[in-house]
Amino acid sequence: MQSSLIDIQGRKISYLRVSVTDRCDMRCVYCMSESMEFLPRPEVLTYEELERLCAVFMRHGVRRIRLTGGEPLVRRDIGDFLQSLGRWIRPVSSAPGLDELTLTTNGSQLGRYADTLVGAGIRRVNVSLDSLRPERFSAITRRGDLHRTLAGIHAARDAGLAVRINTVATKGINDDEFDNLIVWCGEIGADLCLIETMPMGETGEDRRAQYLPLHSVRLNLQKRWSFETADGATGGGPARYVRIAETGQRLGFITPLSHNFCDSCNRVRLSCSGQLYTCLGSDGAVDLREILRSGGTDSDILDAIDLSLARKPLRHDFLIPDNDAQVQGPARLMSVTGG
Reported pTM: 0.89
Whole-number pLDDT of residue 116:
97
Q: In what order do the strands lie in the sheet with 100-105?
A: 227-229, 240-244, 250-254, 191-196, 162-169, 124-128, 100-105, 64-68, 15-19, 267-270, 275-277, 285-287
142 in a structural domain: yes
Residue 76 domain boundaries? 15-337
Q: What is the pLDDT of residues 288-332, one digit of tens each?
A: 999 999 999 999 999 999 999 998 876 656 555 555 545 444 555
pLDDT at 219 over 70: yes
In a domain, 6, yes or no: no
- Considering its fold, how many domains does the chain have in total? 1
The identity of residue 232, as a single letter, is G
**How far is 176 from 191, CA to CA, in rounded Å?**
19
For residues 133 and 54, give the distance between their C-alpha atoms in angstroms, rounded to a whole number: 38
Binding residues for [4Fe-4S] cluster: 24, 28, 31, 262, 265, 279
- The least confident of 59-63, 135-139, 232-236, 247-251 is 232-236
In a domain, 90, yes or no: yes
Whether 281 maps to a domain, the answer reads yes
User: Percentage of residues in the chain with pLDDT exceeding 70?
Assistant: 84
Query: pLDDT tens digit string along 33-66?
Result: 787 888 999 999 999 999 999 999 999 999 999 9
- Domain assignment present for residue 5? The answer is no
The closest alpha carbon to 334, from 194, 169, 202, 218, belongs to 202
Identify whether 309 is part of a domain. Answer: yes
What percentage of the chain carries pLDDT values higher than 90? 70
Q: Is residue 209 part of a domain?
A: yes
pLDDT for residue 148 is more than 70: yes
Whether 7 maps to a domain, the answer reads no
Binding residues for S-adenosyl-L-methionine: 30, 70, 128, 198
Annotated binding site, which residues?
17, 24, 28, 30-31, 66, 70, 104, 128, 198, 262, 265, 267-269, 279
- Band the pLDDT of 135: cuts 50, 70, 90: very high
Binding-site positions for GTP read 17, 66, 104, 267-269
* Most confident residue range from 27-36, 104-113, 236-245: 104-113
* CA 206 to each of CA 35, 171, 199, 212: distance values in angstroms, whole numbers, following the listed order: 17, 11, 9, 12
What pLDDT score was predicted for residue 282? Answer: 73
231/318 Cα distance (integer angstroms): 29
Q: Determine the distance from the C-alpha atom of residue 61 to the mean position of all C-alpha atoms in its chain, rounded to a whole number.
A: 20
Identify the CATH number of the domain in which residue 227 sits.
3.20.20.70
Of 283, 218, 208, nearest to 254 (Cα)? 218
DSSP state of 142: S
